[in-house]
Amino acid sequence: MKAFSSRLYSVYDDDGFFGKIGAQTQFGEIPWATTGTAGTVGYSTNGKRSLLRVNNQPFLPTFAYDSTGKNYTQSGFNGVVVKLRYPSAIPTAGNIGAYYQTFIGRLVLQVQSVDTGILSNTILLDLQTPPEIIDETGIAGYLRPDTINGRLNTNRLGGAPILPINVNTSRY
C-alpha cells in the first residue's frame, strides 16, 4: 500500500445544497442527516466533501497496518488494512461533520500450472489512485437554492447563471 492510494475528505455540515445543520427548509436548504454509528461501515451522511489538504497538498497517510500490527513494509503483512497512520493529527474545524475515506489496495497474482502444479513468481499490482471527488455546487448539474436570497430556481441545471431580469420573474 502506498500512501497516495488513499484519499481523506472533510464532509462539511454547513452547505445548504448538500446538507446543513440548522437548514432553513422553507428556502430549499437540505438538512444535515446521518444514519448508522460513526466509525462503522454502516455510517453515512450527507454534506459537501472536500479533499483534506495541508499546505495545499493532499493529507495522506504515512503507514497502513494490518490486524497483527504490522505495517505494509514489514514481512508478514497480511494485506488487510485495519488502521492508517497520518503524519500529524487530522485537522478539525467546527463545520466538519464527518470524514470520508477512499482507499485503493493491491492485488497479488500467482499462476499455477494445471499439469505440473508449479507456481509462478508472485506479481504485486498497485491499483490506480482513486480520482479526487469534487462536490462543487457550481458544477454539480443539479437544481440548487439561491442561498443569498433563499429562492429556488435562480441557479439552474449545470450551474449556469440566469439573466438578472429573470431572477425576480415568477417561473411557475
Same domain (yes/no): 88, 151: no
Q: Structurally, how many domains does the chain consist of?
A: 2
Tell me which residue has cell 441557479. 155
Counting Cβ atoms within 10 Å, is residue 31 exposed (0-12), middle (13-18) or buried (19+)?
Answer: middle
Cα separation of 155 and 6, whole Å? 34
pLDDT at 167: 46
Does 141 lie in the same domain as 86?
A: no
Q: Are residues 90 and 49 in the same domain?
A: yes
Q: Do 97 and 13 sit in the same domain of this protein?
A: yes
Q: What is the pLDDT of residues 81-114, one digit of tens each?
A: 888 888 899 888 889 999 888 876 666 677 888 8
> Is residue 131, in this structure, part of any structural domain at all?
no
Task: Give the strand pairing for 34-35 and 44-45.
Answer: antiparallel
- Kindly give, in sequence order, each residue whose CB lies less than 8 Å from that of residue 115, ignoring residues fewer than 6 positions away: none
CA distance 119 to 80: 23
* Domain closes at, from 87, 104, 121: 104
Verify that 88 and 154 share a domain, yes or no.
no
Which three cell numbers mark 76? 508478514
Residue 166 lies in a domain: yes
Q: Which residues constitute the domain of residue 146?
A: 136-172
Q: Domain check: are 154 and 91 in the same one? A: no
| Regions of the chain where pLDDT drops below 50 | 1-4, 139-144, 153-159, 162-163, 165-172
pTM score: 0.62
Are 11 and 77 contained in the same domain? yes
Asked if residue 118 belongs to a domain, the reply is no
CA dist., res. 127 & res. 106, Å (int): 6
